[in-house]
Amino acid sequence: MKKLFTLTQVSELTSTPVSTLRKWAKDKTFPAFKLPSGAWRITEEDYEDWLVQVKERGADTPLSEDNPDNSTLREKKGGLPYATYVTTVDGQSLSSL
C-alpha cells in the first residue's frame, strides 16, 4: 500500500505553509489530491517526484523578476517595479560605494 502524506506533514518537511500547498494543489502545480472527506493527500512517490522537479527547475520566489505575472502583486505589496530601484546615492553609483 502506498504511503500518503497530509499537507501538514509536507509543510513540516518543506517549511512551506499549508495554505500555499493547498493553493498549489488547487492550481495543479502540486500533485496532491482531495479525498471525499475534503482532506488533501499526496503519495510518497508523487512527493519525491515533485521535489526532484522543483530542484531541477529551481524555485521562483513569488516576487522575483522570473515571475512577471507577479509584477502587480509586487507593486500591491509596496515594492517598486524592477526598473525603478535605486542605483545611486547622493549622485554616486552604488557600485562605486
Q: At 59, which CATH number?
A: 1.10.1660
15/11 Cα distance (integer angstroms): 5
User: What is the per-residue pLDDT across 36-63, written as a single tens digit (0 to 9) for each?
Assistant: 999 999 999 999 999 988 888 775 555 4
Domain assignment of residue 66, yes or no: yes
Domain assignment of residue 14, yes or no: yes
**Which domain covers residue 35, as residue numbers?**
4-76
97/93 Cα distance (integer angstroms): 7
Is the pTM higher than 0.75?
Answer: no
Looking at the structure of the chain, the number of domains it has is: 1
| pLDDT for residue 4 is more than 70 | yes
